[in-house]
Structure 1
Amino acid sequence: MTAWGPILATTDFSGPARHAVDRAAHLAHETGSTLSVMHVTPGEVLAELRRWLGTGHSSESQLAQANRQQLQQLVDAVGTARCIVAKPVQTNGSVLEEIRREGDALDAALLVVGARGAGFMRRLVLGSTSERLLRRTTRPVLVVRQTPHEPYRRVLVALDFSPWSAQAVAVAQHVAPQAHCVLFTAYEVPFGDKLRYAGVDEATIEHYRVQARADATQRVNALAAQAGLLPGRWEACVVEGEASQRIVEQEQERDCDLVVLGKHGRSATEDLLLGSVTKHVLAEGSVDVLVSTAR
């Protein structure tokens, strides 16, 4: 098996973060990739400790030692369970900058975080730290929501036919090489409500709807052919409506366990990740989410 590339998982030792590390170990075993597991003690935590107890207090070294031991125990446990050797990485400072620095040092192919966490990991996924990390990184980010029991089985890849869509399919194939692929796109009749208001008859609007669906289906088929997806290993999912709502509906209806989104939309200035689609999928969906960041 040809290794995909280094995987970097981050943990704050919470339960959800443990799921993320376990999934990262599963992927490392499946893809033949190396795995590093990183814990960052936030700089503000150390600053607060020093403010109350003074610089050089024994509690600071005790905290560092406890974190190292807990990280090593976690690495040993997932390594044994998944038959891999994982590397622990313990550091202090800005969580965002330390993750970026380590990702760059490893040239990581994938960053893995938990969907919920305690302390900095919760802020990392749900707050401004997450937005800054995901806006700046050029590395795919996997947000883990579920306890991993098996390799991903069915992956929904959301397409908008921007230059990022083909890369989203490629990343999905790396992360879930054995999974059945659902290529999803949502279409809408341009100015549908306005056409009705303007008195355009329903037959004409229906004609536009049929044409929009046919165009979207053709583009999905073309992208699948371009990506080299084999017959029987993928299916098209072309639905009418607003994309974020339809993604959540279809991930459940089609029993998917991973959703893949491209970071950007149809133009370089439209950051889909920070817009309504990804926020809605992360807030309302129930499965893991992989954000592809490369064009």
Structure 2
Amino acid sequence: MKQILVATDFSQYEKRAFDRAVLLATEHRTALEVLHVITPASIDALCNFLPDSRQVVEEKLTNSVYAQLHYFIDRVESERPITILPRVKIAEVEDGILNSAESCDSDLIILGSHGEHFAHEMFVGTTAENVLVRGKRPILIVKRNASVPYSKIGVLVDFSERSDTAIRKACELSQNAMICLLHAFQIPNHEQLRKLGVTDEKIKHYRSEFYDQATKEIAKLSVERKDDLISRVVEMGYPPTMIQKWTEKLNFDLIVMGKHGERLSSVIRHAVHNSTCDIMIVE
């Protein structure tokens, strides 16, 4: 990892994202850019109250934002051996984030989760969802306060190519964390089988077959870790529910998931909405 981009709006939620970005940049000894996006709408609103021209308002606002960014940066750079660059863009927020990630060739985009309001934002198609949908680079959504490096990472796998990518990115993100591969399987039409008279014994047999097959597949997945830092879990259940269960039971700091193209699966949406730990989405 050579470049990290973290977006901030100076809220307490984005402070978590900034702190996590600093930890990762320190761990990887990589460059860090801190981005704030000024929207045209916010400039319009200020122009309605100020006598200055639009250009002057833009300059004043940009200078003010740079001053705030330097306040955060100077505090950190005095304590840690990393280089942090401020960046201010005037654009729609998701455009500013994605274009900045492209221009600085960022290996990771970090966003903050806005607590109870974030779930609402995710489902009405605003900033975070647009970045997740359109983004081609790994995106880390920070939900917890960040004070120590990740120590236990769960990687959701479905045995497709994106599973290999998710595993690789999880290993790259944290060199020393334990990696746990997670797979939830379901018996197709489970309840319908019962209604059609299939015995519980037969359903149990199907479940055993699905479990055995998934166990064989998950064992084939390669993880660049020492054996004592790798674990694998296979269970029957609805994937979103299982993610919550595993997070609480196994105490993950981070869940990593793969996405396919410009589409967010219901599993990803549910995880981003409900998970209590950080989430990283990779393509």
Tell me the TM-score normalized by structure 2: 0.92
Deviations 1:79-109 (A, max 9, x none): 3343312111122222111111111111110
SS of 1:8's partner is: strand
Residues 236-275 of structure 1: CA distance to partner in whole angstroms, max 9, x if unpaired?
11111100110011011001110111112xxx68x3xx23
Q: Write the mapping of 1:33-112 to structure 2, written as runs, cut at 5 A.
A: 33-54=30-51, 56=53, 60-112=58-110
Name stretches of at least 5 consecutive residues in structure 2 with no aligned partner: none
When the two chains are superposed, the root-mean-square deviation of aligned CA atoms in Å is: 2.3
| TM-score normalised to structure 1 length | 0.88
| Bigger mean CA offset, 279-288 vs 254-263 | 279-288
| 1:10 paired to 2:29 | no
Matched, 1:114 2:104: no
CA drift of 1:59 comes to 5.5
Q: Which runs of 5+ in 1 are unaligned?
A: none
Relative to structure 1, the CA distance from residue 257 to residue 159 in structure 2 (aligned partners, 3 Å threshold; closer, same or farther) is same
SS at match of 2:158: coil
Taking the aligned partners of 1:228 and 1:152, their CA distance within structure 2 comes to 16
CA distance in 1, matches of 2:94, 2:87: 15
- Aligned-pair CA distance for 1:113: 0.6
Judged with a 3 Å threshold, the aligned counterparts in structure 2 of structure 1 residues 217 and 82 are, in CA distance, closer, same or farther, namely farther
Q: Which secondary structure state, in structure 2, belongs to the residue aligned with residue 82 of structure 1?
A: coil
> Is 1:257 equivalent to 2:257 in the alignment?
no
1:261 alignment partner AA:
M
Query: Partner of 2:19 in structure 1?
Result: 22
Write the letter of the residue equivalent to 1:260.
V
Rounded to whole Å, the distance in 1 between the matches of 2:275 and 2:179 is: 18
Structure 1 residue 281 corresponds to structure 2 residue 279? no
Distance, in Å, in 2 between the alignment partners of 1:11 and 1:35 is: 13
Greater Cα offset, 89-98 or 134-143: 89-98
Question: Do 1:31 and 1:174's aligned partners in 2 also have CA atoms closer than 8 Å?
Answer: no
Is the contact made by 2:132 and 2:139 (CA closer than 8 Å) also made in structure 1? Answer: yes
Give the distance between the partners of 1:140 and 1:37, measured in 2 at CA.
16
How far, CA to CA, are the matches of 2:173 and 2:35 in structure 1? 20
Change (3 A) 1:275 1:232: same
Distance 1:25 1:126 in 2: 30
CA contact (8 A) 2:152 2:177 kept: yes
Identity of aligned residues (%): 29
Q: Deviations over 1:215-243 (max 9, x none)?
A: 111111101xx334431111111111100
SS of equivalent residue, structure 2 residue 244: helix
Give the deviation of 1:127 after TM superposition. 3.9
1:40 deviation in Å? 1.1
Cα deviations by residue, 1:21-52 (Å, 9 ceiling, x for unpaired): 11111111111221111111111100122234
Between the aligned partners of 1:20 and 1:125, the Cα distance in structure 2 is: 21
